[in-house]
């Protein structure tokens, strides 16, 4: 049975950023999905890890009430998605 996950990137400055959500049969498959995202989006700054940075994959049922919905709203409102930095449109904001 598929499960839903949120992918976060944790940075050196202790900030974390919501990258995307994904569906997988388990955590092993979710980790594989992240590797495939990195392979298919090599220029995406969201998917590039620097020194001291790491990804965290959180299963939906481990989230606080309302956290999944808040994350979905945040992702829906984004206009730039997983585009490479060089391809992002200059939206002036």
pLDDT digits (tens, 9 = 90+) for 28-46: 999 999 999 999 999 999 9
**Under 8 Å between Cβ of 18 and 75:** yes
pLDDT of residue 7: 97
Res. 54: pLDDT tops 70: yes
- Angle subtended at Cα 60 by Cα 21 and Cα 70, rounded to the nearest 5 degrees: 65
Within-domain flag for 12? yes
Whether residue 3 is predicted with pLDDT greater than 70 in this model: the reply is yes
pLDDT at residue 83 greater than cutoff 60: no
Query: Is 92 within the bounds of a domain?
Result: no
- What secondary structure letter does DSSP report for 53? -
CATH number reported for the structural domain that contains residue 62 in this entry: 3.10.20
pLDDT, mean of residues 21-32: 96
> Which residues constitute the domain of residue 50?
3-79
For residue 27, tell me if it sits in a domain: yes
- Total domains in the chain come to 1
Model confidence at 25: pLDDT above 80: yes
Rounded Cα gap, residues 8 and 18, in angstroms: 5
Total residues belonging to the chain: 93
Distances from the Cα of 33 to the Cα of 16, 29, 75, 77, 87, angstroms? 19, 6, 18, 23, 23
33: how many CB neighbours lie within 10 A of its CB? 17
Instruction: Answer yes or no: is 45 within a domain.
Output: yes
- pLDDT band at residue 82 using 50, 70 and 90 as cut-offs: low
């Amino acid at each position: 049975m598929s499960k839903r996950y949120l992918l976060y990137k944790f940075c050196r400055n202790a900030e974390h950023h919501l990258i995307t959500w994904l569906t997988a049969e388990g955590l092993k498959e979710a980790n594989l999905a992240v590797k495939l995202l990195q392979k298919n989006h090599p220029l995406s700054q969201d998917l590039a890890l620097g020194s001291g940075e790491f990804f965290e994959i959180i299963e939906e049922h481990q989230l606080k009430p309302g956290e999944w919905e808040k994350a979905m709203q945040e992702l829906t409102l984004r206009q730039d998605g997983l585009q490479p930095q060089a391809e992002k449109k200059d939206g002036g904001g």
